[in-house]
Amino acid sequence: MSIDLTTPVQYVKGIGPRLAEVLAAKGISVVEDLLYYLPFRYEDRLNPRTIPELMPGEMATVIAEVRTSGLFRTRNRGLQIFEMTAGQGRHTLKSTWFHAPYLKDKFQPGQLVALYGKVDQSTKGRGALVMTQPQFEILGMAEDGASPEEMQSLEMGRIVPIYEASGKLSSRWFRKVIHGALSNLSDDLPDAIPAIVRGHMQLMPRQQAFWHAHWPDEGESFPLLQSSRTPAHQRLIFEELYFLELGLELKRRRMRQQPGIAFQVTDPIRQAVKRILPFHPTAAQKRVMKEIASEMQQPTPMRRLLQGDVGSGKTIIAFQSAIIAIENGYQVAIMAPTEILATQHFLSARRILERAGYRIVLLTGSLEADRKRDTRRHIASGDAQLVIGTHALLEEGVEFAKLGLVIVDEQHRFGVMQRLKLMRKTTQVPDTVVMTATPIPRTLALTIYGDLDVSTIDELPPGRTPIVTRRVPDDRSDEVWTFAKKVIAAGNQVYIVYPVIEEAEAEQAPADSPADSKPPGTGRQQLKAAMQMYDQLRTGPFAKARVGLLHGRMDAAEKEIAMSRFQRGELNVLVSTTVIEVGVDVPNASLMIIEHAERFGLSQLHQLRGRIGRGSAKSYCILMTGPKITPEAEQRLDTMVATTDGFQIAEKDLELRGPGEFFGTRQAGMPSLRVANIIRDRDLLEAAKKEARYTLAAPEHEVSPEERNRALKYLQSHWNRRYGLVEVG
């Protein structure tokens, strides 16, 4: 039976309704999905090795016959070892697996097995060779219905694809089923990418790409295969990225077609904008302000991402942009992720914009009902010109009279949808700036924020001394406290940060720690916690200093008191959790001590460290670590010591955690890509963006209307199914 890409998988040979359900749970529902389930590696069984030619140290594939197997216990430490001996004629090769009782009845004498692994010199038995923990496949049994000949032709004598097994579905099963699907696929697959784009990218035909990616030709380069760099892979990856970018580009265009506000930037306004500056702006700040001001003058809605490392001075840009909107008779909303930060913005806005006489209000969740009602009334009447707040701004009942500009600070803390909600609170489409201090690697900016324009502050204000970062094991905490006392004696302030609030929580990983940060076997490790350490520190090492406590479970008023006492210099030490992670600005603080630093994510550490190094005193960040550190945590800590460059850190973080985790679970805007990897494939991503824009803008003799429609139709039918997660405002 001939099938096409849209055929439900249950009609593919070897898959029935029951397995179709199992596959559906993996997101595989039609043939196209199945074909996108690419092998994660390949094995060269074209030239499997004979046992005598094996060399110690090499990776090799050996096909041999099972002779004996059994489970043993080592004498000294009682380790369970499974051993299997396989042979080719009179030559034999032993394989061992540690802790593998599950292999007990796996092999039967006479079975043909393919073994893939590292060849080692055995410690006993006069230099005999062994394979330690090889991956294996039993080839001899035609357990799933295929004839032995048929199986063998897929399993041997060629480059064999290895698929990620899933429950009962083995790599072999996928191999057989996908091979079957490919063989029965109708001959001419529709290709929704316009011909001229295929030409630019020299894409091979789709069908050929599927075949080659699953069943490479004999001559295919192994390194290219393993790194997904064959023309077949590149074609499939490009295709995925192209349609993603096409979708984003379309959204972007739609947004631009809505009527926006064309703000006037007259000379008096320009003067007003300059007048508020409490310092000389950096060149980068000037450039970014120009970009924003000129786009605000356009009659289309501005959608801009303003990124700049912690401390690069984004706040003043927000205030300056606000002045333009207010002077044009519009209201401005600035939304911050925490009450602390909203309050801080409110206080600096009052300080900086005071002379201009604007009416500024603060709206947070903890306001008393009366105050809240009052504030809302001022917002609804248009009386309040600058509204600063938290999520409370998004609540029902908050109506703006004439909202012209929305600024969202620390964007990564908000779901993208929330941004939308705020914008809908008005009949005109306001301009939007989202500010983020988590520098977004360009690759991510191209995907998740693909519909936004990007402005970057890539320069720190002058006079900052680089922060010195050191790692110290926590059994040397006495030295750290002594150092902190010196810093206090010199008149500077200290943050001490803990991963959890109370010791009771210490048995679980904190909710906001990266997934890998709980090394095996440390689940019950005692974590020092902010509350307990606060008591210990203020009665012990810092008995003579003034110590404050700040954590997320305190109520808003308590938080504000602690924060403002620290801000005014009334506290020498602030013991805290990550609530101070974002935006807090106390230039006199010059030392940050982070306990259990191995528990924090890389971006989080960077954000925390960004709280210091803001004043004239030399600043220090001390990463204290517990005894058990995973290799990944090691890399995070090393990166922190090696660099303070937020972009480098973000790239490393992305590399370590992968794009899905990069923004944490709160950020649901990340597309789930199946063959592309935006880190590995960043070149193709750039190309895809370019080609997507071109597709929509090209003249008719280059991309015909039929071709464009075909691409858009394909996009439409796939957008929800494939990129359902993407919701980019």
Q: Does 450 bind Mg ion (CB under 5 A)?
A: no
Positions 457 through 486 that interact with ligand ADP (CB under 6 A): 461
Q: What is the rounded distance in angstroms from the CA atom of residue 667 to the CA atom of residue 412?
A: 7
- Among 263, 396, 387, 288, residue whose Cα is nearest residue 334: 387
The tokens describing 65, both together, are 């016959």
- Pick the closer one to ligand ADP by CB: 12 or 435: 435
Phi, psi for 103 (deg, rounded to 5): -85, -5
Chain Cα centroid distance, residue 16? 36
CA–CA distances in Å: residue 246 to residues 191, 446, 687, 689, 692? 15, 12, 12, 7, 5
The one of ligand ADP, Mg ion, none whose footprint includes residue 308, by CB under 5 to 8 A per kind, is ligand ADP
3-state helix, strand, coil in the chain (%, to 5): 40, 20, 40
Q: Does 312 bind ligand ADP (CB under 6 A)?
A: yes
CA–CA distances in Å: residue 116 to residues 41, 45, 138, 194, 514? 12, 10, 12, 42, 33
The one of ligand ADP, Mg ion, none whose footprint includes residue 664, by CB under 5 to 8 A per kind, is none
Q: Does 289 bind ligand ADP (CB under 6 A)?
A: no
Q: Does 379 bind ligand ADP (CB under 6 A)?
A: no
Q: Does 285 bind ligand ADP (CB under 6 A)?
A: yes
Q: What is the rounded distance in angstroms from the CA atom of residue 254 to the CA atom of residue 236?
A: 27
> Near ligand ADP by CB under 6 A, which window of 2-10, 278-286, 329-337, 420-428?
278-286
SS3 state at 288? helix
- Among 412, 404, 364, residue whose Cα is nearest residue 388: 364
- Among 502, 529, 539, residue whose Cα is nearest residue 596: 529
Q: How far is the CB of 409 from ligand ADP (least distance, A)?
A: 7
- Pick the closer one to ligand ADP by CB: 102 or 279: 279
* Contact yes or no for 450/282 (Cβ under 8 A): no
Single-letter amino acid code for the residue at 712: L
Q: How far is the CB of 317 from ligand ADP (least distance, A)?
A: 8
Q: Does 351 bind ligand ADP (CB under 6 A)?
A: no
Q: First vs last Cα of the chain: how many Å apart?
A: 44
Q: Does 313 bind Mg ion (CB under 5 A)?
A: no
- Pick the closer one to ligand ADP by CB: 315 or 604: 315
Residue nearest ligand ADP (C-beta atom)? 313
DSSP assignment letter at 264: -
**∠703-684-41 over CA atoms, to 5°?**
125
Q: Does 657 bind ligand ADP (CB under 6 A)?
A: no
Q: How far is the CB of 583 from Mg ion (least distance, A)?
A: 4
DSSP assignment letter at 500: B
Q: What is the rounded distance in angstroms from the CA atom of residue 422 to the CA atom of residue 403?
A: 10
Q: What is the rounded distance in angstroms from the CA atom of residue 240 to the CA atom of residue 229?
A: 15
Q: Does 456 bind ligand ADP (CB under 6 A)?
A: no
Q: How far is the CB of 390 from ligand ADP (least distance, A)?
A: 16
Positions 561 through 600 that interact with ligand ADP (CB under 6 A): 583, 585, 587
Q: Does 338 bind ligand ADP (CB under 6 A)?
A: no
- Pick the closer one to Mg ion by CB: 513 or 607: 607
Helices (H) and strands (E) in the chain, counts: 23, 21
Q: Which of 282, 338, 411, 576 binds ligand ADP (CB under 6 A)?
A: 282
Q: Does 611 bind ligand ADP (CB under 6 A)?
A: no
Q: Does 247 bind Mg ion (CB under 5 A)?
A: no
Q: How far is the CB of 628 from Mg ion (least distance, A)?
A: 34
Whose structure tokens read 């039993």?
138
> Near Mg ion by CB under 5 A, which window of 126-134, 490-498, 579-587, 684-692?
579-587
Q: Does 608 bind ligand ADP (CB under 6 A)?
A: no
The one of ligand ADP, Mg ion, none whose footprint includes residue 313, by CB under 5 to 8 A per kind, is ligand ADP
Q: Does 613 bind ligand ADP (CB under 6 A)?
A: no
- Pick the closer one to ligand ADP by CB: 117 or 583: 583
- Pick the closer one to Mg ion by CB: 574 or 582: 582
* Residues in contact with Mg ion by the rule CB under 5 A: 583
* Residues in contact with ligand ADP by the rule CB under 6 A: 279-282, 285, 308, 310-316, 437, 461, 583, 585, 587, 614
